[in-house]
Amino acid sequence: MSRIAIASITALLIVGQARAAEPITLRDMGSFHVGGRLVEISGKPVKEVVFAPGGVPAKVDPNGTYQVEQMYVQYFLPANEKGAYPLLMWHGGGLTGVTYETTPDGREGWLNYFLRKGWAVYNSDAVERGRAGWAQYPDVFKSEPVFLTTANPFERFRIGDGPNSYDPDPAKRKVLPGNQFPVEGYENFVKQNVPRWTTTDDATIAAYIAEIDRVGPSVILFHSQAGSFGFKVAQARPDKVKALIAIEPAGIGDPARADVLKNIPTLIIYGDYIERDSRWPKIRANGIAFADAIKAAGGSVDIVDLPQAGIKGNSHLVMMDKNNLEVAALIQKWLEGKGLTK
Amino acid sequence: MSRIAIASITALLIVGQARAAEPITLRDMGSFHVGGRLVEISGKPVKEVVFAPGGVPAKVDPNGTYQVEQMYVQYFLPANEKGAYPLLMWHGGGLTGVTYETTPDGREGWLNYFLRKGWAVYNSDAVERGRAGWAQYPDVFKSEPVFLTTANPFERFRIGDGPNSYDPDPAKRKVLPGNQFPVEGYENFVKQNVPRWTTTDDATIAAYIAEIDRVGPSVILFHSQAGSFGFKVAQARPDKVKALIAIEPAGIGDPARADVLKNIPTLIIYGDYIERDSRWPKIRANGIAFADAIKAAGGSVDIVDLPQAGIKGNSHLVMMDKNNLEVAALIQKWLEGKGLTK
């Protein structure tokens, strides 16, 4: 190894240590719930419930008024704010705000990265996910919840090489060649998954609109299922959305109203292995068509296929991949280029 | 108003502003899931699910292996650590770690308070709550989930004056006289509630043990339903639990093994209005009897009935009450007195 190479590696190690050691200084942190509505449930029998072992039974009348369909938001405000607007992070399906926290193998996620870059970050759990709580079904939600097996995300999120690539024995799993997902943390990722419904989109969008109405003009970074949420909320509040960053959006906005987004700078990022997947070529094509509609109306959409930008091996879970901070730096640079930093 | 009174109020306002303005400096923050187990589900039909509107249908086979009964932990490590051990915060029934975050009326909660005091705080969502996720029932959990009406916590958590004290119209609610709960934030508190089961105690305790095994020797602060969890986990790991702070514990440990806790300094705090409640005299008596058993074995338990300490009007949700920081200061002083700060 040449001296220059060794010097470069040493410099990288020092930079890495320096970053880990730098404190995060917050002027404030906290949380709130927002949105939702009240519903009435009637005609059911009163139950007697012992809430704690050895506790005293309490009567619980299931009839009455319930709060449903709110969402949860946790915010971190840096002391030295450098983002021109707050940065809202919206997770994908079957997940929560944990998506943007520590990666499954214990590295820093995008929440910390963008906070360290001076963004006021609002990380949230969508309606019926995580700390948002969830409501009775079929009384309130009109479908049953979906649970994923340990194998499902491995084969569907472009970590493994498609169907039957998962095996309970990690040594026997067929990982896509060069994949950046931290497979040694896959068991931890599975623990991040939560049940989800497929009939709650309207409620979810309503709550996200309530969030942006409360926080004010913002940049929204959203992933996967939140593709349709990000674009649709921006169509509902075009004056309050200052930029859209779509990470592998699995859904889109209303194509008939694509022109509403023409003044919102938009970045769409796709990972690797799209072409060999059974579903992602079509999903990506939907996203590209929607971007084309925005551009046809005079809008600005930058599409980055990471492999074409020299960033290879990304799964669907870009923010958890081993090169997650490299992609974050690409996003940060794009935001700076759009004049969205102070 | 006298000049002295005005000067005092001015001083209070300045102190309040100074506290709000002081930054929180973290050497790190992040999260992890811990605990849980794998279960097999079999004999069910394959479903086709469209995960995002306009998306491409994916097959979901409900048969297979599921990860269940893990818990979620979010940690904040202060740059200038002054706690001798990490401080674990465990919430009560039907709630999540949000319990210790911003109060329902937007003030600082105990998470920020103890972080500002230099404690490394590990705030968590127990098994089947919030970001911990939840599992199929009756396949995995053996009962149905419990949902609370908007009225239920108001009447059961000693905010309102017992049954029928709640009214949809805030102006018509019968609040206990002098109550410290921020009733103007009651609607926000209701949004913090999540469904819960009553048959998951063993799984919850197993996950909490996994948490303390991972974090190492710790102080545990726990509320309400977590009364039994805090004491039982301490009985399972007496060498790793350096202090117990029970806030209105609704359950207790194993009385036959109370002696196991004799070397763990313990503080139990009760709020106001206990004697006029239908359930809390008995719940408190259970707690006192358990404390007596620990003391009889040579242990040290301090019981603080807040009204007798001159702190009046506390509901069951002490950490959210308007005087929450006054109670936090009492706890901090107790910890300092036990030599648990650096």
What is the pLDDT averaged over residues B182-186? 98
| A157 and A94 co-located in one domain | yes
What is the spatial distance between Cα B146 and Cα B137, in angstroms, rounded to a whole number? 12
Burial of B40 (0-12, 13-18, 19+ CB in 10 A): exposed
Decide if B342 is inside a domain.
no
Q: Do A131 and B97 touch (CB under 8 A)?
A: yes
Decide if A127 is inside a domain.
yes
Decide if A2 is inside a domain.
no
Q: What is the pLDDT of residue B49?
A: 80
Strand partners, B37: B68
| A51 and A189 co-located in one domain | no
ipTM: 0.93
Among the listed residues B96, B324, B21, B77, the one whose alpha carbon sits nearest the alpha carbon of residue A77: B21
Q: Do A50 and B198 touch (CB under 8 A)?
A: yes
What is the spatial distance between Cα B73 and Cα B88, in angstroms, rounded to a whole number? 9
- Give the CA diameter of chain A: 79
Strand partners, B305: B270
Tally the domains of chain A: 2
List chain B residues with CB under 8 Å of A190. 67
- pLDDT of A97 higher than 60: yes
| A91 and A211 co-located in one domain | yes
| A266 and A294 co-located in one domain | yes
For A241-268, how does the pLDDT look when each residue is reduced to its tens digit (9 = 90+)?
A: 999 999 999 999 999 999 999 999 999 9
Disruptive mutation site among B47, B50, B51, B102 for chain A (greatest number of A CBs within 10 Å): B51
- pLDDT of B9 higher than 60: no
For A38-52, how does the pLDDT look when each residue is reduced to its tens digit (9 = 90+)?
A: 999 999 988 888 776
Q: What is the pLDDT of residue A10?
A: 43
Q: Do B30 and A251 touch (CB under 8 A)?
A: no
List chain B residues with CB under 8 Å of A32. 102, 106, 188
| A75 and A176 co-located in one domain | yes
- DSSP secondary-structure letter at A259? G
What is the spatial distance between Cα B129 and Cα B138, in angstroms, rounded to a whole number? 17
- DSSP secondary-structure letter at A282? H
Q: Do A66 and B227 touch (CB under 8 A)?
A: no
Among partner residues B130, B228, B250, which is closest to A130 by beta-carbon distance? B130
For A266-303, how does the pLDDT look when each residue is reduced to its tens digit (9 = 90+)?
A: 999 999 999 999 999 999 999 999 999 999 999 999 99
| B12 and B115 co-located in one domain | yes
Decide if B255 is inside a domain.
yes
Decide if A162 is inside a domain.
yes
Q: What is the pLDDT of residue B48?
A: 83
What is the spatial distance between Cα A268 and Cα A246, in angstroms, rounded to a whole number? 5
For B47-71, how does the pLDDT look when each residue is reduced to its tens digit (9 = 90+)?
A: 888 776 677 787 877 899 999 999 9
In this structure, of A119-123, A205-209, B41-45, the range with the lowest mean pLDDT score is B41-45
| B64 and B196 co-located in one domain | no
**If you search the block for the tokens 């901090």, which residue do you land on?**
B332
Among partner residues B25, B74, B252, which is closest to A25 by beta-carbon distance? B25
CATH of the domain at B130: 3.40.50.1820
Decide if A81 is inside a domain.
yes
What is the spatial distance between Cα B182 and Cα B159, in angstroms, rounded to a whole number? 9
Residue partners of A257: CB distance under 8 A and separation at least 6: A235
**How would residue A61 be classed by pLDDT, with cut points 50, 70 and 90?**
confident
For B284-311, how does the pLDDT look when each residue is reduced to its tens digit (9 = 90+)?
A: 999 999 999 999 999 999 999 999 999 9
Task: Give the angle B126-B127-B129 at the CA atoms, nearest 5°.
Answer: 70
List chain A residues with CB under 8 Å of B58. 156, 279
Decide if A12 is inside a domain.
no
Q: Do B147 and A283 touch (CB under 8 A)?
A: no
Cis peptide before B307 (omega within 30 of 0): no
Strand partners, A33: A72
| B116 and B152 co-located in one domain | yes
**How would residue B142 be classed by pLDDT, with cut points 50, 70 and 90?**
confident
Q: Do A24 and B20 touch (CB under 8 A)?
A: no
| A75 and A208 co-located in one domain | yes
For A1-22, how does the pLDDT look when each residue is reduced to its tens digit (9 = 90+)?
A: 344 444 444 444 444 444 456 9
**Structural domain boundaries, residue B244:** 3-31+70-337
Task: Give the angle A119-A123-A126 at the CA atoms, nearest 5°.
Answer: 150
> Which residue type does B256 have?
A
Burial A318-339 (b: 16+ CB within 10 A, else e): bbbbbebbbbbebbbebbeebe
Q: Do B193 and A93 touch (CB under 8 A)?
A: no
Decide if B249 is inside a domain.
yes
Residue partners of A201: CB distance under 8 A and separation at least 6: A228, A229, B53
| B64 and B170 co-located in one domain | no
| A120 and A64 co-located in one domain | no
| A121 and A83 co-located in one domain | yes
- pLDDT of B17 higher than 90: no
Q: How far does the CA of residue B92 sit from the closest CA of chain A (Å)?
A: 10
For chain A, the average pLDDT equals 93
What is the spatial distance between Cα A159 and Cα B25, in angstroms, rounded to a whole number? 36
The answer to whether A156 and A243 are in contact (CB under 8 A) is no
